[in-house]
Chains A and B, each alone.
Chain A
Amino acid sequence: MRVSRKSKVESRKLKIMLVLILYSLFFTPAFAQSNLTYTLRMAATGEVELLDNFPEVYETEKVNISLYDGGKYEPLRYDEGRDTVDFIFAHPGEEDLTAWGDSIFSYHESDETVWTVWRNKKEPKNRSQRVMVANGRNAFETYLHDTIDAKKSHGWIWWVFAALVLIGAVVYGCFVVYSRRKERELSSVEQETLRRQRMGKRRHYISQAYLWLLLVVLYAPIALIAVFSFTKSKVLGNWTGFSLDLYANLFTGQADAGLNSAIWYTVIIALIAAVCSTILGTLAAIGIYNMRARQRKVVSFLNSVPMINPDIITGISLFLLFVALGMSQGLATVCIAHVVFCTPYVVLSVLPRLSKMNPNTYEAALDLGATPAQALRMVMLPELWPGMLSGFILALTLSVDDFGVTFFTKGSGGLETLSTFIYSDARKGGLTPELRPLFTIILLVMLSVLIYINFKNKQEEK
C-alpha cells in the first residue's frame, strides 16, 4: 500500500520533470532568434518634399520614428500636436519593405542624422546607399553615410538556459532515484522522520532558490552595465575588448562635457537640498512635537502631501507656480523643489528621536539661564543628531535619484542633473559610455557599505 503511494508520488514528479523538459525544448526556439541591430549614420538633406506615390506603401509597413533636434531634444513637430509620427524607412527600388524593421529612433547631430534600425527579419541583400524616409505625406531623400555599429543579439542564451534546465532536471532525477533506493533499506519509522526532514529542507531550498532567482533578475541589467564598463565601445552591449579607458575618461574629466556638468549639478543640488531640508525639517519637527493635537494633525497632514504626491504632480504643480510667479527656472527652482519633497522625510526621521527625549531638559536649560539658541545647540542637538543624520542621508538619496520633479523645474537653460541627462541621452538613442563606470563605482561603494554594516552587525552579535 505504502509502496504504491510512494511510486505514485514518484511518477508524478517524473511527469513534472518531463513537462519541464518538453517546455524548455518547445519554447526555446520561439525565443532563441537572433536579431541584428544597426546604427547607421546618414546625411540628412533637410529638405522635406511631397511625394505622391508614397501613401500606398505607407499602408504596408509602419515604422515609428522620433525626430529630435540637436542639443535641446525637443521633438520636431512634423504633425500637429504629436511628437511621434509614423514614418517609413525605405530603400528606393527595393520592393520588400518588410525587410526593414519595426522602429527607428533618430536625432540630429550637427548636419547628420543617426538612425538606429531594429530589424527582425532577413538582412537586405543589396543595401542601397540612397535611403528614403517618409511619413506618407512628406518624404525626404538621404543617403547612407556609414554603419557605425552593427551588433547581434544573443539568441543562443536561451539554448544555454534550456540546457541548464535539462541538466538540472536529470541530476535531480538521478538524485531522487538514488536516495529512494537507499531509503527502502531503512525501517518505516526512520523513513518517516527522514521524509519530514526532507520536506523541511526542500522548503528551505525552494524558498532560497526563489529569492536568488529574483535577485539574479533584479541585478541582471546592473551587471550588464558593470561588465560593459570595462570596454571602450560606445554602445552598451557591444564588447570590443577589455579596456579601462572609460574609467580614465571619467576621472580625468575627458568625458562628455554635459556629463561632467550633470555630475556637478547633481552633487550641488543634493547638498543644498539636503542641508536646507535638514535644518527646516528639524525645526519643524520640534515645532510639531510641541503642538496641540489638532494643530499637529493638520501640519502632519500637510507634511504627508508631498510624500503621497507622485513626482509628476509635484513637478507640474511647482512648474505652474514658477510660471505663474514669472520666476525663471534654473538652479534655484530645482533646489526649492528638492527641498519640498525631501523635508517631510527629515521631519519623519527626527520626530521619533524627539519622543524618546526627556521633554524637560530643554526647559531646564532655559531655567538655568541658557538662551534658546544655546539650549538648542547644547541640549537638543546632541539628542536629535542621529535622526537628523538619517534624514540628511535620506534627503541626499532622494535628491540624487529624483527625475520627475527635476525634469519639470529645471527650465530650458541647459541645467541637467544625472537623471535628466540620462533621460535625454536615452531618448537620443544612445547612452554616454562614461555613465557605465560612474554607476559601477556607485554600486560598488553601496555594496561595500552594505558588507561593512553586515560585518559590524555580526561583530556586535558576538
Chain B
Amino acid sequence: MSKILQIASSRRTWAWPYVLFMLLFVVLPLILVAFYAFTDIDGHFTLRNFAKFFTHSEAIQTFLYSLMIAVFNTVICLLIGYPAAYVMAQEEFKTPKVMAMLFILPMWINFLLRTVATVELFNMFGLPLGEGALLFGLCYDYLPFMIYPIYNTLQKMDNSLVEAAQDLGANRWQSFWKVIVPLSMPGVYSGIVMVFMPTVSTFAIAELLTHNNIKLFGSLIQDYITTTDLLNYGAVLSLVLLIIIGLTSFFGDNNSEGEKGGMI
C-alpha cells in the first residue's frame, strides 16, 4: 500500500498515461504509414509503390505544383503580413491588442464556409476562378498565421535597440533593415513554417476555389487513401508529404524558438 502511495506521489509517473496514449495514437499510426507504404495489399514487403510514385507523372507533377503554390503563398503572406505586423507592433497605436484580435477573429468562422463565401464573392465581382482565386483564398486563410508570430516577436522586441541605432546615426530605413528585421527573424521563420506546412498539405480549399479544376497533392492523397485497393499507394504519397513536413519543421526548429504554441 505504501509503495503504491509512493509511486502515486512521485509525480513523474503522472505523465505515463499521456505517453502511452501518444505512443498508441501518434507514434504507432506514423509507423503504420511507413508500414503500409512498404507493403502491398496482402501485407508483403514491396517497393513497387515507390516505383509507381516515381513513374507516375501525374503524382510527381501535382506534387511539384503543390510545392510551388505553397512557396508562392508563403511569400505572398510574408510580403503582406510583415508590414501589417510591423505596423501593429508600433507603439503609436493605442489598441494594438484589439487590432491583433481583429485579425484572428475570422478564424472562428469555419474556414470552409469562408472559402465558399470567397468563391461567391469572386462570382459577384465577375472574376474567374482559377489559380488567382486559389492563391487569394489560401493567402486569405493563412495570413493570420503569418501575422501573429511576427507581431509577437516584434512586440517583445526591445525598442531601445532601435533608438540606439538611430542615435548612432542610422536612418529609419537602415535601422529597419539592420536592427528590426534581424531581430524579428524567429517570428518570420515560425510564420513561414506555419503557413507553408498547412498550404502544402491542404486539400479542401483548392477543390472549392477552383471547382475541382486544380488538384493539389492533398486531394491526390485523399483520393488514393480512401480507395481501398489503392491505400498502400496513398500511404506512399503521405510519406512523401511527411518527409517534406519533417524537413520544414526541422528548418523551423533550428531558426525559431517555440512560437508555435502562442497561436489563438
Interface residues of A (CB under 8 A from B): 31-35, 37, 64, 66, 81, 83-84, 102-103, 105, 118, 120, 153-155, 157-158, 204, 207-208, 210-211, 214-215, 217-222, 224-225, 236-237, 280-281, 283-291, 295, 299, 302-313, 316-321, 323-324, 336-337, 339-340, 343, 345, 347-349, 362, 366, 371-372, 394, 397, 401, 403-404, 407-408, 418-419, 422-423, 426-427, 431, 435, 439, 442-443, 446-447, 450, 453-454, 457
Name the prevailing secondary structure of the B interface residues: helix
Give a binary string over B223-236; 1 marks a CB under 8 Å from any A CB, 0 the rest.
10101001100110
Q: Does B105 contact A (CB under 8 A)?
A: yes
- Mark the stretch among B46-54, B86-94, B162-170, B175-183 that contacts chain A: B86-94
Cα-based distance from A318 to B24 in the complex (angstroms): 10
Give a binary string over B168-201; 1 marks a CB under 8 Å from any A CB, 0 the rest.
0000000000000000000000000000011011
Q: How many A-B residue pairs have CB under 8 A?
A: 270
Cα-based distance from A80 to B46 in the complex (angstroms): 24
Assess the A318–B106 pair: CB atoms within 8 A.
no
Which of A318, A362, A408 is the most central at the interface, judged by chain B CB atoms within 10 Å of its CB? A318
Cα-based distance from A236 to B8 in the complex (angstroms): 58
Assess the B26–A302 pair: CB atoms within 8 A.
yes
Assess the B29–A372 pair: CB atoms within 8 A.
no
Assess the A288–B15 pair: CB atoms within 8 A.
yes
Assess the B105–A450 pair: CB atoms within 8 A.
yes
Shortest C-beta distance, B90 to chain A (Å), equals 7
Name which residue of chain A comes closest to B83, CB basis: A210
Name which residue of chain A comes closest to B21, CB basis: A280
Assess the B121–A210 pair: CB atoms within 8 A.
no
26 residue pairs of the A-B complex, CB under 8 angstroms, read A37-B123, A103-B211, A157-B124, A207-B87, A210-B83, A220-B121, A224-B120, A237-B123, A299-B19, A311-B201, A313-B238, A316-B234, A316-B235, A316-B238, A317-B30, A317-B33, A318-B29, A362-B11, A371-B5, A372-B9, A397-B264, A407-B222, A422-B113, A426-B115, A431-B116, A450-B105
Task: Write out the residue numbers on chain A whose beta carbons fall within 8 Å of the beta carbon of B116.
Answer: 236, 422, 426, 431
Interface size on B, residues (CB 8 A): 95
Assess the A401–B111 pair: CB atoms within 8 A.
yes
- Nearest first, the 6 A-B pairs at minimum CB distance are A287-B15, A317-B29, A284-B18, A221-B117, A287-B14, A310-B201
Assess the A211–B12 pair: CB atoms within 8 A.
no
Task: Write out the residue numbers on chain A whose beta carbons fall within 8 Å of the beta carbon of B30.
Answer: 305, 313, 317
Assess the A221–B123 pair: CB atoms within 8 A.
no
Assess the A211–B112 pair: CB atoms within 8 A.
no
- Of B5, B103, B221, which contacts A218 at CB under 8 A? B103
Q: A153-B123, A211-B84, A454-B98 are in contact. Are A302 and B245 (CB under 8 A)?
A: no
Task: Write out the residue numbers on chain B whose beta carbons fall within 8 Å of the beta carbon of A37.
Answer: 123
Q: Does B127 contact A (CB under 8 A)?
A: yes
Cα-based distance from A418 to B116 in the complex (angstroms): 14
Shortest C-beta distance, A299 to chain B (Å), equals 6
Cα-based distance from A395 to B63 in the complex (angstroms): 32
- Of A308, A339, A418, A443, which contacts B197 at CB under 8 A? A308
